[in-house]
Structure 1
Amino acid sequence: MPVRPKRPAPDIYPPPPPPAPEIKDHFAPRHPPAPRPPTPRPPAPRPPRPNNPRYYPGPHQHGPQPPPPPAAQPSSGASILWALTPLFTCGFGTPFTMAYGAARLKSRGLALAAVIYGLGLLVFWFGVGLDAPEVLRPLMALAYMGNWLGGTVHSFMIHRKVFGLPGSEAPMTANERAIALAQHRRNLRKEARELAAGDPALAKELRIGRPDLPRQYDDGGLVDVNHAPVEVIATLPGMTRELAQKIVDVRETVEAFISAEELSATVGLPPQLTADLAEYTIYLN
């Protein structure tokens, strides 16, 4: 009996749908541009910081410095009272008022004015005491009124200058401000040295001569050679890195220096550096 061939099993899964037709965008570019690599930007330079161990503004470097503190302004009431002294004393206090102004301002003109006012009072006193004739009475009256009214007006004209009130002097020029700042820094160094001589422990606590450490006390740019690192000593005027390293090497053997002269002689520094070292260095034990 012949064998019938088996029928294939029916496919129960439907055929996949045909692919969707591709829609072409005629407005799209045929070759899109390649992305541009980002342009590297150099890092912005950072300003040096005072506490940066690699940056120490030396005392001879002219960076932005704080202005000197303003002097204490006297009271304007005292100056007005001084100017009214000739009026209240009827002119008899005018020579003393002008003498005081001449002493404060060190002015020869005011000293001469004080002498003239004094001679005017002498003329008036002698005229009254000797019963001067009628011819000299106008001169006596002129001398008296000159001391009384003239002295009052004169005192009011110069009272702001004598007492150093604002507006009495012309504004400082750039050179005058620089000189005032240099003198102020010199006074700060002098005060720091006096403080260190009287109380060395307080000087170390205030970190005098250590610009490499954070601090609040302004010593005017002093450098403690016995404790400052090489980077700080190298900022001194006329100092080089090699000389600063030589100072530190010798310091380890002698333990401490006591003066700029001993430092120059011990280390063998050039003689022209001694004056600058004496001005800008301090030696704390």
Structure 2
Amino acid sequence: MALSAAKALYVLARCVDYAGMTVFVGGMFFLALLWPDGGDNRQARGVVVVGWVLGLAGTVCGLGLEGAWVAQRSPLDLFDWDLISQVLNGQFGRIWFSKTLLWVLGGVVLADLLQRGRRAATSTAWRVGAGAIAVGLLRTTGLTGHSAESGHPLLSQLADFAHLAGICAWIGGLAMLLFGVLARRDPGELAEVVPRYSKLAMIAVLLVIAAGSVLALQTLGSVGRVFTTDYGRVLLVKLGVLAVVLLIAQGSKSWVARRLDFAVVLRGDAGVVRPFVYSVAAETTLVVVVLFAASLLVTASPGR
């Protein structure tokens, strides 16, 4: 019972870690390239703060819970130093300890954003620092996935990095769009930011699909194993939910093409913008299911 509880909580910690990373990295990317003025917006900064808190908490708890799972201990022992020291002696522990340090450094980048706002988001130094943290978080996450065990490690790890980067740009942008831009309904921001994000999201989704296909084939070895293994069936669930998300996203794209100009003319009228808000909110909600499925895949054996 302790083992199953520890594993379940470990999967949850991975999900929280993924969610935090996507919101934090994607949020910083959104502010740096699409909406620098959002650096002065309290809700937008709050999105990045939430991402950082979730990512740090998921990583720290994941360290202890992985040790409790492997040692068949109670999940309540996740902060037991003897257990943590055993985890740190292994490859997973060393990678995730490095990831914890990256989250701490990310806190420095976040503090600068909170202090200077737009001036930080538009400065070269902040963008370089945020980019370095983002690359480090994406890379360390990939090093603890199945891509590191592939027969073609370079190809798999490149695909994994591209897959995670696309997810962050897409999902982190969704969160920033929903809680930052759309919450304000400023006509100038709608006209400037929404089309930019729409183009970015299309590129990000294509990247996610292409890199994800490479990863799936490299991990499973053949298409047939998608239907004959537990790993493959979880992957099918993830793909099914993702397909629904893409259908909703297509609706959002159609709204941008047909109704954005009208919404701007009406100065962000709530009734006109509301369908787009609902669509983005539905996308964001379903993405949580995709992230949970991704966490299950990381802890599942591809051969079973």
What band does the TM-score fall into relative to the shorter chain? Answer: under 0.3
| TM-score normalised by structure 1 residue count | 0.27
Bigger Rg, which one: 1
| TM-score normalised by structure 2 residue count | 0.25
Name the structure, 1 or 2, with higher relative contact order (CA <8 Å, separation 6+): 2
